[in-house]
Structure 1
């Protein structure tokens, strides 16, 4: 379980872009739950390596009841629900479990977080940045990854998994294998095509060092790009241009800017690879906030 928890912490940091304090809080919530399971489970009858057999809806609900009985606040219980739901989804992604024991456990809507998006000026500042001619050898790669992520609304796990055969520059689209091994086709804009082409022509072969790899984006050692390396690249450019970035910030910006520009919700849902449109609908709340702000700032009778 310690190994799984460490991998989950890395996933929260890199894939979800959560702060160190939030990640630590989630992990503490889960450690408390695991200790509860350990006390309630007779491991003389159940091998320790089958610990996850006790990770059930019943054990989760019982632990929530124990938290309430100990006088924990509603906020603490809600945070635990978020922690255990996130952990369960992670286990499914990693194929450790096949069914989600938290699926029918509801989180109060007041605790849902709206995604944060960059404004268009900040996106331009980020993607148009050009470093000095020396000192940032991997910039061509990093810039191509960010441009492609914003162009097509990709998750980190998707962008690092792109293979050369997935790219269709002539058709202007990209084949993506998303969550649950679901394939989708997404468009690529011309700026992203140009940056990816430049990276492949000027840098990729040098990174391979006479080796072969099906993956488009590579580390400095010619290995497939990892979540951690992507996060480091994103943070480096963000620090240079003065923007606080997470991988989800770019994806959220993609969705928000499309909806603000008039795109319909169903099309955005398909491009993001959301199986449920309710997941996409959260962005309509963000654009609604922007509409209200514009109204209050510019309508002559709203002041």
Structure 2
């Protein structure tokens, strides 16, 4: 099907002045250490529900937009192939591979916490106590609420940027990352994410 892709993969303001070609320009994204800090926090069952832990893992390991996240339906999850069908901007559809640990967390949420909800019959994966479908503001507000506890400003799109940035830094081809993100062109991904930081250039020169 056209527009479908399949993959198993899963600092910081932009300069406000004109910069020369090749100058430092970095994307706002979490470092590896910050990712570990966030994941350790959401692992605390006394502070974070299974649903909210799943939200963080889904944002980080699929790079979906928050609007795409709240629109995930049960039928979008294919357990046999471990894939997630995502309906993005402009009605474009893409298929993303689901990590095993993410799939297991989905199962735990669906079989436990979600099953006990009065909206357990909802077609949407993420439900709330008041609605059969979670609202994007609920995701944003919760991330903002835990930001002080974790010691960094969190918001949904940060996880999308982090996923893309880490994939590129680990050598995943930009074409693959572009398809995971659902970008309309590789050029958009390149323009947004392929940049050279001061540290990158210094490390390169140290190889001489």
- Relative to the length of structure 1, the TM-score reads 0.56
Find the partner of 1:125 among 18, 37, 51. Answer: 37
> Larger % of helix: which?
1
Residue 127 of structure 2 corresponds to: 218
Instruction: Write out the 4+ residue segments of structure 1 that deviate beyond 6 Å after TM superposition.
Output: none
Alpha-carbon distance in 1 for matches of 2:150, 2:203:
27
The yes-or-no answer on 1:201 pairing with 2:114 is no
Deviation string 1:106-132 (CA, Å, 9 cap, x unpaired) is xx999xx85300011111211232325
The offset of 1:183, in angstroms, is 0.6
Q: What is residue 115 of structure 1 aligned with on the other side?
A: 27
RMSD of aligned Cα (Å): 2.4
Q: Where does structure 2 lack aligned partners over 5 or more consecutive residues? A: 1-15
Query: How much has 1:300 moved relative to structure 2?
Result: 6.6
Question: Looking at CA atoms only, which structure, 1 or 2, has the larger radius of gyration?
Answer: 1
Structure 1, unpaired ranges of 5+: 1-74, 76-107
Higher relative CO (Cα under 8 Å, sequence separation at least 6) belongs to: 2
User: 1:149: how far off?
Assistant: 1.1
SS of 1:206's equivalent in the other structure is coil
Using the alignment, how far apart are the partners of 1:265 and 1:237 within structure 2?
32
- 1:215, 1:156 → 2: CA distance? 14
- Which residue of the other structure, out of 230, 243, 246, is the alignment partner of 2:155? 246
| C-alpha distance in structure 2 between counterparts of 1:300 and 1:176, whole Å | 42
How many residue pairs align between the two structures? 186
Partners of 1:147 and 1:191 within 8 A in 2:
no
Partner of residue 77, structure 2: 167
Q: Is the 8 A contact 1:142 1:234 kept in 2?
A: no
TM-score, scaled relative to structure 2: 0.80
Write out per-residue CA displacement over residues 69-127 of structure 1, whole angstroms, 9 at most, x where no aligned residue. xxxxxx9xxxxxxxxxxxxxxxxxxxxxxxxxxxxxxxx999xx853000111112112
What is residue 17 of structure 1 aligned with on the other side?
none
CA contact (8 A) 1:153 1:272 kept: yes
